[in-house]
Copies of this chain bind each other. A is one copy, B any other.
């Protein structure tokens, strides 16, 4: 963890490198630092040191702390969405797609915990330039899940028509559950991505099926004890 990104050099003055490479190293360092310390608590000094360059170079390439954070968010949001989409085969049934998407999601978040922290925690806690960036990504994922729910409804012959708001709520719930499980799995590293995905499928799929059959839970059920 000492020199952060390994550039094959002991230490000394940072070796000459093409801009693209340096920029990537800086983003790597920034994601780690922002992810662990938070936006405000992360210092440009620390990021530069972890990247193995001097601070002015960070500014030369990434402009400002704000721009740097935004660049991190964009890159990692893109990476996460790409990972999930790549993990899904659109020829599968809806539940198959959900299953593989969840596996990809949990795998990615487990492999990039700092990136996940940036997206899930840090970006959402710091005002408007940033929250919007990550919101867009989240909306994209929610939309994907929403589409899957509709697809599942079509596959289930004779499914009751689902109200839009219900679907939206379900998607929110599902995504939120996934986010929570990602943190849980990351915290206790004995839980694998596959297990997390299975837990969520078990939890969610039956509920969805019920709904599509028009069976809804209602408070009236409650019998006195």
Q: List residues of A whose CB falls within 8 A of some B CB.
A: 37-41, 91-93, 95-96, 99, 121-122, 124-127, 165-166, 168-170, 172-181, 183-184, 191, 195-196, 198-211, 215-217, 219, 221-225
| Copies of the chain in the assembly | 4
Q: Which 6 A-B pairs have the closest CB atoms?
A: A176-B180, A40-B40, A206-B210, A169-B199, A96-B222, A173-B177
Tell me whether chain A's interface is mostly helix, strand or loop, or mixed: helix
Q: Which residues of B contact A184 (CB under 8 A)?
A: 168-169, 172, 176
Q: Which residues of B contact A200 (CB under 8 A)?
A: 169, 173
B180–A92 CB distance below 8 A = no
Instruction: Given A181-B176, A222-B99, answer yes or no on A206-B217 (Cβ-Cβ < 8 Å).
Output: yes
| Cα separation A41 to B200 with both chains bound (whole Å) | 36
> Which of B40, B179, B206 meets A38, CB within 8 Å?
B40
Instruction: Given A121-B124, A219-B99, A225-B91, answer yes or no on A202-B166 (Cβ-Cβ < 8 Å).
Output: yes
> Which of B91, B174, B196, B223 meets A177, CB within 8 Å?
B174
